[in-house]
Amino acid sequence: MALNQFPTWIRRPWPSGKAFREVKDLLNGMDLHTVCQSAHCPNQSECWSRRTATFMVLGNTCTRHCTYCAVNSGKPMAPDPDEPEKVAEAVRRLGLRHAVLTSVTRDDLPDGGAGHIAATIRAIKRLSPGTTQEVLVQDFVGDVPAIELIVAAKPEIFSHNIETVRRIFPKLRDRRFSYDLSLEVLRIARARIGRGFVKSSFMLGCGETEADIQETLHDLLVAGCDAVSMGQYLQPTPKHQDVEAFIPPEIFTRYESMARDMGFSFAVAGPFVRSSYRSEALLQSEFGRERLQTSGAEQHAD
């Protein structure tokens, strides 16, 4: 849709400020990618001004093509073996209390890049032991050992996005993705992560109904998700999937309440909510603090 058709609540400030420039210069200087840039995230100004970013490892080219996603697709380059240490150093320099990692999908790699992601998690823990982490991963084609590699690195939050409701899934996602496989990834993680958190996210405004949303929330809950986030889909370029509807903020508030009433321990929904947006809020919630304290006590007892 044209910019002048955007409702008043779809507005974000132009990126600026000292902290924003410092984060930009640091990332560029270390040759690191962020989903903030690659996916045209509308929260880039806010997040970078708060000296935080979602690091995207394994390059900037995805082996799959989804109709909503702005990340480049094609034949990617070989992973940078120094990237885990570079990301960890960036986290240390930024002084992050919470870091978010994600990656492009890498079907060309034997383990889908799981070992590389796990190495990055461990490198951050080594350089910044007080920093909590969320890792947002691909489906790894359902490969259990790959998922186990991620869980074994002990991120506080394991996240895999369902992205959209079942009925619309084939329209938006690369055919190699599967709604049921995504649910299986979440189930596998839930069975192995102990008292860690499992999270998923999906977009609204793609033609889904309230019944579709209820079904997806139910499916995610049954799969073992503690947390869910819902945000407005925004078309990154005219070549991508059209926006079917702009969801008013008050409707997002209602869906957030719906998720909590259904049994999610943490839920957030809003026009600019993204899977990694203010990720630390889950850990700072009453539920999150209690879970972390219990998990910490169990590890100490071990």
| Extents of the domains making up the chain | 11-301
Residue 183 three-state SS: helix
Query: Which of 23-27, 211-215, 291-295 is least confident?
Result: 23-27
> Pick the residue with more confidence: 148 or 16?
148
> Pick the residue with more confidence: 238 or 116?
116
Residue 238: per-residue pLDDT = 86
Chain position carrying tokens 């059209």: 242
> For residue range 248-260, what is the model confidence (pLDDT) as tens digits?
999 999 999 999 9
CA distance 3 to 7: 9
CA distance 216 to 234: 20
CA distance 58 to 2: 33
> For residue range 166-216, what is the model confidence (pLDDT) as tens digits?
999 999 999 999 999 999 999 999 999 998 999 999 999 999 999 999 999
**What's the fold here for domain 11-301?**
TIM Barrel (3.20.20)
CA distance 150 to 115: 8
> For residue range 33-53, what is the model confidence (pLDDT) as tens digits?
665 444 445 545 555 455 566
Give the residues across from 197 on adjacent strands.
Answer: 157
How many CB atoms neighbour CB 120 within 10 A? 28
Report whether 89 contacts 30 (CB < 8 A).
yes
- Give yes or no for residue 69 having a pLDDT over 50: yes
Average pLDDT over the chain reads 85
% of the chain surpassing 70 pLDDT: 80
